[in-house]
Amino acid sequence: MIRPFLLSLALVFPLTAVAAEESYVIEPVHSQPMFEVQHMGGFSNQHGSFGKLSGKIILDRAAKKGSVDVTIDTSSVRSFSERLDVHLKGEDYFDVAKYPTMTFKSSNLVFDGDRLVGVNGELTMLGVTKPVSLKVVNFVCGDNPFNKKPMCGAEATATIMRSEWGMKTGIPKSSSDEVRLTLPVEAYRE
Amino acid sequence: MTRAHCSCALTLAVAVPLAAVAAEERYVFDPVHSQPMCEVRHMGFSTQHVSFTKISGRVTLDREAHKGTLDATVDTTSVRSYSEKLDAHLKGEDFFDVAKYPTMTFKSSDLVFEGDRVVAGNGELTLLGVTKPVSFKVSNFVCGEQPFNKRPMCGAEVTATIMRSEWGMKYGIPKAASDEVRIYLPIEAFRE
């Protein structure tokens, strides 16, 4: 009596579909997002980063689906100058008192075989939500060579126009509207 | 009397062409906007970045003769990564050994021009007391006036790739961090 019942269950709920979804927690130390702008009309490119973030990535490589959910602490912004850091945290830029976090969420992942090559999502910054597409390169999964924990790593890049989120200070004389994002990611399987 | 003075002045102008002397331009780095960064592969999984926040440097350019020099000194104790724990390790003997080598230098007397723009160069990096040649690319070389204070300046992006083991920095290769290091140096320099 039990065996046919279990068999029916296996047909209705194929175990392989459930096992294909992998859940990863972003390791924040090695996943600090960086940004780059042109300084004073193009004399040089200057960089900044965010030191605090948290996030989760879900991958279903068989079904070629997944999701990304990242929250960045805006007060963790750090540039090449402490004086600039203060300015960046203020109303002219990230307004961290009012917007202590910014988020990136996606449920539209792009795969090439079982390699992640793109993520289409939305960035919410200064309370404004707009679409951003990330290009993903060097996607690789394996064991951490020291502690053997299963993990994945990748590099994501994107270019945004910060004015679309309302961050208009300094454009273009001081720093460019165009901001190039470089996002290293390391994440451990849950 | 006046004519003699005139010919004397003329002779001088021919003997010491003012154009040649005026052609060498000297620039001093703005250290805030010229902070070098380097990039390594971490455990084969991602690319991680480290920068140096203290640098001083000078550039000379002779755009007519298509010659120039670059001379930069980096304070190795100013190394800054994405982790304070790593910063302490980087300053130690395994990496930059800053107690013994508080500076590293990059010098070039061979800048390569295309027209009057610098596009590349060949120089030497002295790191951990070892001096080795490094060739570099220069992109987005541009000279003009600073938009706020109107001072004449030039800017560029210098990139190079080195194998750190050649300077004796072998720790962690390849399991923790790659031998290959990509160097990126934005330069903003004001005319003296």
Residue B59 resides in a domain:
yes
Length of chain A: 190
Residue B18 resides in a domain:
no
d(CA B159, CA B188) in angstroms, rounded, equals 14
Question: Quick one: average pLDDT of A31-35?
Answer: 98
**Environment class of residue A38 by beta-carbon count within 10 Å: exposed (0-12), middle (13-18) or buried (19+)?**
buried
User: Taking the model in full, what pTM does it have?
Assistant: 0.89
pLDDT the model gives residue A7? 60
Integer Rg of chain B from CA: 21
To probe the interface with A, which of B29, B40, B45, B52 has the most A CB atoms within 10 Å?
B45
DSSP-assigned beta bridge partners for residue A105? A69, A122
Number of helices and strands (H, E) in chain A?
Answer: 3, 11
Question: Quick one: average pLDDT of A183-189?
Answer: 98
To probe the interface with B, which of A26, A30, A43 has the most B CB atoms within 10 Å?
A43
Identity of the residue in A30, A43, A144 whose CB atom sits nearest the CB atom of B48: A30
For residue A95, give Cα distances in angstroms to A99, A100, A169, A172, A177.
6, 8, 12, 20, 17
Residue B107 resides in a domain:
yes
pLDDT digits (tens, 9 = 90+) for B99-135: 999 999 999 999 999 998 999 999 999 999 999 999 9
pLDDT the model gives residue B47? 98
d(CA A140, CA A146) in angstroms, rounded, equals 16
Distance of CA A109 to the CA centre of its chain: 12
Residue B14 resides in a domain:
no
Pairing of strands B37-42, B24-29: unpaired
For residue B22, give Cα distances in angstroms to A128, A131, B68, B183.
53, 53, 14, 33
Homologous superfamily (CATH) of A16-189 is: Lipid/polyisoprenoid-binding, YceI-like (2.40.128.110)
Does any CB of chain B come closer than 8 Å to the CB of residue A46?
A: yes
By three-state DSSP, how is residue B128 classified? coil
Nearby residues of B156 by Cβ (< 8 Å), 6 or more positions away: A44, B118, B138, B139, B140, B141, B142, B186, B187
The letter for the amino acid at B157 is: E
The single residue listed with the structure tokens 């990863």 is A24
* Degrees to nearest 5, angle at CA A28 with A177 and A160: 15
Residue B6 resides in a domain:
no
Residue B89 resides in a domain:
yes
Does any CB of chain A come closer than 8 Å to the CB of residue B149?
A: no
CB-CB under 8 Å, B51 with A153: no
Query: Which sequence spans correspond to the domains of chain A?
Result: 16-189
Residue B10 resides in a domain:
no
Residue B184 resides in a domain:
yes
Length of chain B: 192
Which residues of chain B neighbour A140 with C-beta distances below 8 Å? 44-45
Does any CB of chain B come closer than 8 Å to the CB of residue A137?
A: no
By three-state DSSP, how is residue A48 classified? strand
d(CA A44, CA B139) in angstroms, rounded, equals 10
Does any CB of chain B come closer than 8 Å to the CB of residue A184?
A: yes
CATH code, domain with B155: 2.40.128.110
Do B187 and B156 form a contact (C-beta atoms < 8 A)? Answer: yes
Does any CB of chain A come closer than 8 Å to the CB of residue B46?
A: yes
The single residue listed with the structure tokens 């961090």 is B177
DSSP H or E segment with residue B2: helix B2-15
Question: Quick one: average pLDDT of B80-108?
Answer: 98
Q: How many domains does chain B have?
A: 1
pLDDT the model gives residue B88? 98
**Environment class of residue A98 by beta-carbon count within 10 Å: exposed (0-12), middle (13-18) or buried (19+)?**
exposed
Q: Provide the domain limits for residue B111.
A: 23-191
d(CA B190, CA A80) in angstroms, rounded, equals 18
pLDDT digits (tens, 9 = 90+) for A55-83: 999 999 999 999 999 999 999 999 999 99
Question: Quick one: average pLDDT of A21-45?
Answer: 97
pLDDT the model gives residue A9? 61
